[in-house]
Amino acid sequence: MSKLNGKVAVVTGGSSGLGLAMATRFAEEGAFVYITGRRQSELDKAVALIGDNAVAVQGDVQRVEDLDHLFEKIRQEKGRIDVLVANSGMVAPQILDDATEENFDKTFGVNVRGVYFTIDRALPLLQHGSSVILVSSIAANKGVPGYGTYSASKAAVRSFSRTWTAELLDRGIRVNTLSPGPFDTPIMDGQADTPDGGDAVRAKWSAAVPMKRLGRSEELAAAALFLASDESSYIAGVDLIVDGGAAAV
């Protein structure tokens, strides 16, 4: 039997990269999946790839009104959420000497505010036995020049999972963190200084991983499936690191 048969899942930031991989795997395992993102064209492509068990809802996780629209649609159509992945995030490296308010506010707006209010607004729909997965990063536990704001925002996400585990267990809601290391996704290109610099960024991060390669999106999706399914029914509050050993070695 499929591991998420009949479940209703939500993946924010599900139109590309790791979010799309997770949404696709959930649908393959029998879930009906709602994905969100800011760009309608990318959402349309993602739904075409995932198939009939997916619906896209355009919105920005920084806007509470967009979140309310998403969850009201789910309430009317399905009435519940069994799996919620708060995946929307951004990274824009900037060293302290070059700090700007815009970079700080946008990073924390998406990575922290977005996660906080995604879970807050979803609470009325989360069922007893549901699984909430917060996507953090191994950067939360490392000091990498240029990634101070990003790392701090992801540390906040990890903190949320601890607090919400304590707050929501009486409702039968499990909250866990999924922390990827370097993965081969379009976000790598966004960290390059030039249009052709993506390969250099990928080579740099590959060298930093003990396995000497970047992660594949489907590898994170497999870990997310474990946390989403009943196979992890006795797991709450953990930080599942998927990074080829980068944080441990």
Span 165-179, mean pLDDT? Answer: 97
Element (H, E) at 18: helix 17-28
Q: Which of 154, 160, 136, 131 is nearest to 231 (CA)?
A: 131
Span 159-165, mean pLDDT? Answer: 98
What pLDDT is recorded for position 195? 63
Catalytic residue among 34, 116, 147, 150: 150
What pLDDT is recorded for position 208? 85
Span 236-241, mean pLDDT? Answer: 98
- Sign of the alpha-carbon dihedral angle for 187, 190, 195, 196: negative
Is 147 catalytic? The answer is no
pLDDT 10s digits, 58-117: 999 999 999 999 999 999 999 999 999 999 999 999 999 999 999 999 999 999 999 999
- DSSP codes of every residue in 133-181: EEE--GGGG---TT-HHHHHHHHHHHHHHHHHHHHHGGGT-EEEEEEE-
Q: Domains of the chain, with CATH numbers?
A: 8-240 (3.40.50.720)
What pLDDT is recorded for position 55? 98
* pLDDT averaged over every residue in the chain: 94
pLDDT 10s digits, 43-57: 999 999 999 999 999
